[in-house]
Amino acid sequence: MESSICQFDRELQLLHREKLRLYPQLKLADLRQLTLYQELRLLQEFEGREEKLQEKLSLCIKEENSITSKLNASLRELEMKQAEVTKVQDRERSLAEAFQETVVDNPFEEFLTKVFKKMVKRDKKKEREGGGELFENTLHLRELRLDLEELVAEKKKNAEALKKMCDTVVKKEKVVKHNRKAAEDSLDLVYREKQQRMNELDVVVPLRLSQIVFDADRPLTSDLGQALLLNMTELKRLQRRTKELQEEIKEHKALHRQARHQHIKLIKDQREMDTQTQGKTCSLGKR
């Protein structure tokens, strides 16, 4: 009976020790759970705003990509149309050069040139007065010139319309980029606000008494609210840096004293030189 009681007491004591060991762990788990709950509530508070801003940003990016793609395609098309205009203009210049070669040194050159450059309606009957085959060739070349001029005018008109459309797309692209930048700034502001609120949450950090160090020159305090939490490596580094700064201050003071002594010596030397200079001046004056 007595042995059973002793065994029970030993087991009870072990359970008591286990309870003491688990108690702080359970309390820390409760505090950690509370911190996680606060973080969860905070994340839920910002979740709606983040989703709306993220959706707005995604739409802005999608619209910007679409407009950029459309603008690039339009610019390529505009470049092609401008190249076509240049080609037709080259053909027009070649036609003019070919005409000049046909009438060079011809007595009717001036008249044929006027006929070639004359602006006529396309449904007007061809002129039949003049110099036979050469005149007919001039009329034919004029028809080709008019065809090319109409083609150039049409392509220029299309290119100009496309250019106006590109200008409109460029303006729209600037607006979309501004909206996208505004959405990014708003989302970044929400992120920073959320991070600030997260940093303001209280977090419990368990410390052992051996981890708490007081300054020897200051009295002990029961309030650790203003205490600074550092690991030992950082603390030792700061202590070494403190000693280094003290040595640097001593060196600067020594340099300052040395410079001050040098300054006093220079002033003294200057006064002696001034006195010697005045004595020599007086001697020269008496002579």
The amino acid sitting at 116 is: F
Q: Is the pLDDT of residue 245 over 90?
A: yes
Closest CA relative to residue 204, chosen from 8, 77, 58, 38:
38
Percent of the chain with pLDDT over 90: 13
Average pLDDT over residues 72-79: 79
CB 58 within 8 A of CB 176: no
Once rounded to an integer, what is the mean pLDDT over residues 200-218? 73
pLDDT given for residue 281 in this prediction: 65
105 — pLDDT class (breaks 50, 70, 90) = low
Buried/exposed 158-180: b ≥16 CB within 10 Å, e otherwise: ebeebeeebeebeeebeebeebb
Give the span between the Cα atoms of 149 and 27, in whole angstroms. 92
pLDDT band with cut points at 50, 70 and 90 for residue 262: very high
pLDDT at 67: 83
Tell which wins on pLDDT, 35 or 141: 35
Please tell me the CATH code under which domain 1-121+133-202 is placed.
Answer: 1.10.287
Of residues 56 and 282, more confidently modeled: 56
Q: What is the pLDDT of residue 130?
A: 45
Q: What is the pLDDT of residues 21-55, one digit of tens each?
A: 888 888 888 888 888 899 999 999 888 888 898 89
CA dihedral 280, 266, 271, 276 (to 10 degrees): -10
What are the tokens at 171? 């303006």
- Give the lowest-confidence range in 137-151, 222-236, 238-252: 137-151
Helix (H, G, I), strand (E, B) or coil at 95: helix
What local confidence, expressed as pLDDT, does residue 10 receive? 84
Question: Between these two residues, 99 and 80, which has the higher pLDDT value?
Answer: 80
Question: Token pair for residue 11?
Answer: 């087991």
Q: What pLDDT score was predicted for residue 77?
A: 78
Q: Quote the pLDDT of residue 125.
A: 47
| pTM of the model as a whole | 0.49
* Whether residue 108 has pLDDT greater than 70: no
Q: State the average pLDDT over residues 170-186.
A: 87
Mean pLDDT, the chain, rounded, equals: 79
Res 135: pLDDT: 61
